[in-house]
Amino acid sequence: MVSAYPAFLFLSMVDQAPDPDRLDGLLRSWTGTPAPNGGLDAPVWRRIEARSARLTWVERLTDVLHELDARLARPQALAALVALALVLGLGLAEWRTQKAAARVDVEMSARYLALLDPVVR
């Protein structure tokens, strides 16, 4: 037997929905302002700058690698990196192929001219 109790709860929650006009009035009347941070930002930034000033290049590299690792933990970023690597790899391969083809064309032209006129050598 199915109980009507959950349906009753749902209907009673619908009946108790807040009045939007009352909520708008409360939001308009609110005058609270956030408390100032008490100057905590300045000492924190001074500590960060002091630490970064005395980091060695190995520590900086480690920080960069940790940051990269944190950013690549997201699947979207990893997919973007793989796509970028593929595009760059294919572009580099195409460039090298065109460069090699141009070099072969120059060599073939020189050989053809040498066949036509052996004295040109």
pLDDT band for position 86 (50/70/90)?
A: very high
Q: Can you tell me which residue has the tokens 């209907």?
A: 11
Q: Does pLDDT of 1 surpass 50?
A: no
pLDDT in tens, 12-45: 555 556 666 778 887 788 777 766 666 667 788 8
Q: E strand or H helix at 12, and its extent? A: helix 5-15
The whole-number pLDDT of residue 6 equals: 53
Phi, psi of 48 (to 5 degrees): -65, -45
pLDDT in tens, 45-60: 888 788 777 878 888 8
Q: Does pLDDT of 9 surpass 60?
A: no
CA distance 114 to 92: 33
Higher local confidence (pLDDT), 92 or 44: 92
Least trusted range by pLDDT, from 13-22, 62-71, 100-109: 13-22
Q: Give pTM, 2 decimals.
A: 0.42
CB atoms under 10 Å from CB of 77, counted, come to 13
Radius of gyration from C-alpha coordinates of the chain: 35
Every domain of the chain and the residues it spans: 44-73, 81-121
Q: Which residues contact 78 (CB under 8 A, 6 or more apart)?
A: 72
DSSP for 73-109, written as a single string? TSHHHHHHHHHHHHHHHHHHHHHHHHHHHHHHHHHHH
